[in-house]
């Protein structure tokens, strides 16, 4: 079987795979309009609003991606007792996404509002509180997760540094997963990646990897990945590199996967698509390199769309090149 056929076979086996997504749940709000004049009050453009829409963001967008790719996500997170929290629950219910969301009366639901004109983002406004969840909320979240552990094929930790995945919470989840022989894939944030110790894989972008290794000034891709491996002590490091594709370090082997050539419209949520496709592939028992190749194609497809978007398995399969080869640590297509 050639590589393309094998990748398609993996994608078709995603159906029904149960993936737990734990992390920072957000609501993305888009206010779209046109700009034709400048305000007389100040030298600023006036946005004439034509459309408003809300979509799932953060960990909720990861769950949404998994659902769109024919998996069965179970979303765990924290929301506020507010309109944003209600909106998230309604969106999840409409998409038939199973969710276990804990309401914290002391913090608002994270809301990211983007003002859009001429298909361009003018400004983004964030309404959020980023302090760590309290012990009561933490224990409640972990208790809910424990009840589902036997039903789940794989766990994703979707960390946006909004306070849900504290070091203590993160380590408790990883330990529960490992004691039940479940793999944990992490989309990390912050400077200290030691809180992800013993996770199977982490998927930082290149900027995040530079910060976590303190190598911003003298960045070396292979050495940086090796340093991350020493910190996390998992099975591999997956570094997403935007238009340069994906870099994989697995044990002592490394691979470079180039990005698909395409006209990029919007990278919003592309990392969520990467970890969704990667995790679904790994949940089927496939090797990490094949999973990364598929995730790379998924990213190449979703960046062609505007805003926080998902894609289907049919769209993903359609974008896979006819000829794919692996030569000298490089994936060629």
| Active centre residues (catalytic) | 272
The DSSP output letter for 205 is B
Query: Which residues lie below 8 Å from residue 168, measured CB to CB, with a gap of 6+?
Result: 138
Q: Could you list the beta-strand ranges (E) of 108-252.
A: 110-117, 120-127, 154-158, 184-187, 201-202, 236-240, 246-250
Task: Give the side-chain half-sphere CA count within 13 A for 123.
Answer: 6
Give the 3-state secondary structure of 51-111. Answer: EEEEEEEEHHHHHHHHHHCCCEEEEEEEEECCHHHHHHHHHHHHCCCEEEEEEECCCCCEE
Nearest to 236 by CA among 184, 288, 174: 288
d(CA 79, CA 40) in angstroms, rounded, equals 39
């Amino acid at each position: 079987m050639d590589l393309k056929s094998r990748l398609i076979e993996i994608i078709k086996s995603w159906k029904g795979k149960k993936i737990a997504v734990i992390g920072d749940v957000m609501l993305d709000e888009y206010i779209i309009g046109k700009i034709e004049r400048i305000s007389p009050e100040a030298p600023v453009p006036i946005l004439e609003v034509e459309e408003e829409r809300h979509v799932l963001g953060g960990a909720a967008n990861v769950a949404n991606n998994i659902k769109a790719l024919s998996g069965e996500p179970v979303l765990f997170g924290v929301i506020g007792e507010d309109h944003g929290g209600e909106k998230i629950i309604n969106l999840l219910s409409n998409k038939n996404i199973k969710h276990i969301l804990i309401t914290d009366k002391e913090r608002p639901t994270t809301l990211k509002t983007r003002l859009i004109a001429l298909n361009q983002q003018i400004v983004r406004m964030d309404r959020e509180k980023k302090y760590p969840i309290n012990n009561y909320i933490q224990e409640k979240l972990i208790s809910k997760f424990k009840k589902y552990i036997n039903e789940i094929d794989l766990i994703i930790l979707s960390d946006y540094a909004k306070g849900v995945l504290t070091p203590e919470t993160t380590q408790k989840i990883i330990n529960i997963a490992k004691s039940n022989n479940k793999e944990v894939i992490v989309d990390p944030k912050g400077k200290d990646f030691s809180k992800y110790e013993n996770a199977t894989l982490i998927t930082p972008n290149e900027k995040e990897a530079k910060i976590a290794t303190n190598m911003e000034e003298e960045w070396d891709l292979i050495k940086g990945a090796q340093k991350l491996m020493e910190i996390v002590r998992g099975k591999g490091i997956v570094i997403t590199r935007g238009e340069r594709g994906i870099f994989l370090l697995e044990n002592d082997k490394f691979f470079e996967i180039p990005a698909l050539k395409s006209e990029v419209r919007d990278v919003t949520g592309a990392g969520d698509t990467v970890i969704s496709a990667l995790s679904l592939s790994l949940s089927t028992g496939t090797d990490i390199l094949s999973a990364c190749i598929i995730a790379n194609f998924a990213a190449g497809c979703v960046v062609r769309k505007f805003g926080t978007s998902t894609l289907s398995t049919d769209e993903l399969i359609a974008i896979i090149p006819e000829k794919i080869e692996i030569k000298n640590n490089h994936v060629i297509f």
